[in-house]
Structure 1
């Protein structure tokens, strides 16, 4: 009599248990791999966004204009006023689907109204009130302080660009005088000309963005 070989119930249960264990391990591995891939993709997207934003900021800062702007106390201010945390300047804004650009005001600052989600904001406003005088309009009508207030109010001018950032540091390097290399400073107000260089630092682990504004934008200098 020939004996039929097969699996016992215990062997079958052990095999099924091993298969279930292997399936669980494989599913867990796939899930970890999927989460890792998603994290890498999000990081790459954030990196790409930051790089594009830095390129845009570099172009705007390099095109900064130096104009004498009247203010309400019968004096004039340079159209480039900044400190360590904010910068207000004139620059050329390219028009959409056009190679033509127009001069506009720009305001760059750190918005920390929500401490959990601080961000770098760039706002812009059309250049008005500085048109040439005419017999009908013999005086230039421009309110510098109203412009600053419009930019600083959170509910005011909407942001043109936003970028997650925990910190912002701006530094300005004056032009060389008598062959002496000046030091970086954190304030550029009540000045007569653009700085030689602007340095923008967002995060400690990011290299600073250094730009030469205005007519000096193509200059190459040693950064210290």
Structure 2
């Protein structure tokens, strides 16, 4: 874990304008470490959109971080993106859609759209799921939620199951403020999910009924 870097940035003020967390009722102040890397890779210069009718996750937690990526698709300049890292030990997702728009030379904007889990009896399933999000809208319900716990004191911070089976299992390589803000819950249920993200990682990701298509323009984005 790295302590918060010194510099000209007013971190407390910066935290107040962070994107809302999954727990819409909680006001979250997140300390970000300069040069911290939330994902274990450099993210691309493009965000992607994800929607789902319903997400049922066990072992939910959320804490702040920064993704480091490339400023432009054809450039080498790096840029940092503040993210809210939402983690689930296991997740069941119904009717998931993921889309990303790319500018293709001579062809213009092309949308890659992926759908899975449209059959409620064959949903998308994930284990050790990490979502590095910049924006999220949903209706949410939590079971046995702890709001304001320090990252280092969460049930799974050292990789154990914890007394309540909550999270987060902070991913190796994530460098966050160890005394920073986190929240955790035994179970999180989300309906009508719309999110914009920089990265998603998972120990396993089962996409039942996978369908992937390319479309000209941007009218086929998930939202």
Please give the TM-score of this superposition, normalised by the length of structure 2. Answer: 0.22
More strand by share: 2
- Identify the structure with the greater helix proportion: 1
